[in-house]
């Protein structure tokens, strides 16, 4: 028996895929990416295979998973040419994207080179050349010494923000939905200031909550236990807060500071929702 998992963007076509793949069960909970494979739930439902829409493989599972990677069809070169003037001062460009737009990388590279740019596409262990995630920017890090800036092709900011926050180079995002090229410098500086404030507030906290996700690709319980031990040794009160879908309303009231061991998006894009300082693992100083 098969279980079909899909992200929000495929809801209108999910029955078409279910019929094509001969699927009996459709998983209707939110899907946050290829890190969010419902292995336990599929086994509980008696399934021996998961059909996962939209993403490429990034985690190993005991259950068989068939990844149906999606590719978008857009007039990317015309969009790029309309915005080339915004990166005219940069000669060496690192090209990045998400899985949906991988097929356009070579055409974009050629277009940029025709406009006298040097183009670099980095590699990572578990992703395609040029592909990044919010939690994996290896492709960007590999070429950071060769580039003046990065150009990300996609529909959201979370992935390129990971690059902009961690690497001190300009990052431009060509949004395929709006057709606009955006410099992420301003939003990056805003987020960095928020992170500084969160880290500062965490130093005075006495009661800590260590967020652990039960999602297979986000579960970091081993690290959480290490942090718990160190916090207690330093005289802090600390608890591991385990949950599948991480929401602010689930956090116990008396927790003063949160340490996030799950998806970094929580502390970057969703931090303001928690109304408590929240810091990621790479920001943690005990």
Tens digit of each residue's pLDDT, the chain (286 residues)? 999 999 888 888 899 999 999 999 999 999 988 999 999 999 999 999 999 999 999 999 999 999 999 888 889 999 999 999 999 999 999 999 999 999 999 999 999 999 999 999 999 988 999 999 988 999 999 999 999 999 999 988 889 999 999 999 999 999 988 889 999 999 999 988 988 888 888 888 999 999 999 999 999 999 999 999 999 999 999 999 999 999 999 999 999 999 999 998 898 888 888 889 999 988 876 5
Angle at 270 between CA 267 and CA 273, to 5 degrees: 115
Q: Give the start-to-end residue ranges of the domains of the chain.
A: 2-68, 76-183, 195-283
Question: What φ, ψ does residue 68 adopt, rounded to 5°?
Answer: -100, 90
Is CATH 3.40.50.11840 what the domain over 2-68 is classified as, yes or no? yes
Phi–psi pair at 235, nearest 5 degrees: 90, 10
DSSP class of 280 = E
Could you tell me the two tokens for 188? 């990056």
What pTM was estimated for this model as a whole? 0.87
Rounded CA-CA distance 66/85 in Å is: 42
CATH code for the structural domain at 195-283 = 3.40.50.11860
Confidence (pLDDT) at 286: 53
CATH of region 76-183, choose from 1.10.645.10, 1.10.3720.10, 3.40.50.300, 3.40.50.11850: 3.40.50.11850
Q: What is the largest CA-CA distance in the chain?
A: 61
């Amino acid at each position: 028996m098969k279980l079909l998992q899909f992200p929000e963007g495929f809801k209108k076509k999910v029955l078409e895929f279910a019929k094509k793949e001969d699927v009996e069960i459709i998983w209707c909970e939110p899907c946050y990416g290829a890190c969010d494979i419902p292995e336990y739930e599929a086994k509980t439902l008696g399934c021996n295979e998961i059909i996962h829409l939209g993403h490429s493989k990034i985690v190993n599972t005991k259950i068989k998973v068939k990844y149906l990677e999606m590719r978008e069809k857009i007039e990317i070169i015309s969009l790029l040419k309309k915005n080339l003037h915004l990166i005219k001062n940069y000669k060496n460009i690192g090209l990045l994207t998400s899985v949906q737009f991988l097929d356009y990388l070579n055409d974009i590279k050629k277009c940029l080179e025709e406009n006298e740019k040097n183009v670099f596409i980095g590699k990572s262990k578990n992703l395609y050349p040029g592909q990044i995630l919010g939690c994996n920017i290896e492709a960007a890090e590999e070429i950071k010494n060769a580039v003046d800036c990065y150009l990300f092709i996609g529909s959201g900011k979370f992935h390129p923000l990971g690059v902009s926050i961690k690497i001190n180079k300009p990052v431009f995002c060509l949004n395929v939905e709006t057709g606009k090229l955006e410099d992420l410098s301003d939003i990056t500086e805003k987020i960095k200031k928020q992170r500084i404030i969160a880290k500062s507030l965490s130093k005075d906290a006495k009661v800590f909550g260590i967020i652990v996700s039960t999602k297979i690709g986000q579960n970091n319980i081993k690290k959480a236990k290490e942090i718990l031990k160190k916090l207690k040794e330093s005289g802090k009160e600390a608890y591991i807060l385990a949950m599948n879908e991480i929401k602010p309303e689930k956090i116990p009231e008396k927790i003063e500071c949160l340490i996030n061991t799950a998806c970094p998006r929580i502390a970057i894009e969703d931090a303001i929702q928690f109304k408590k300082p929240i810091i990621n693992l790479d920001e943690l100083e005990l």
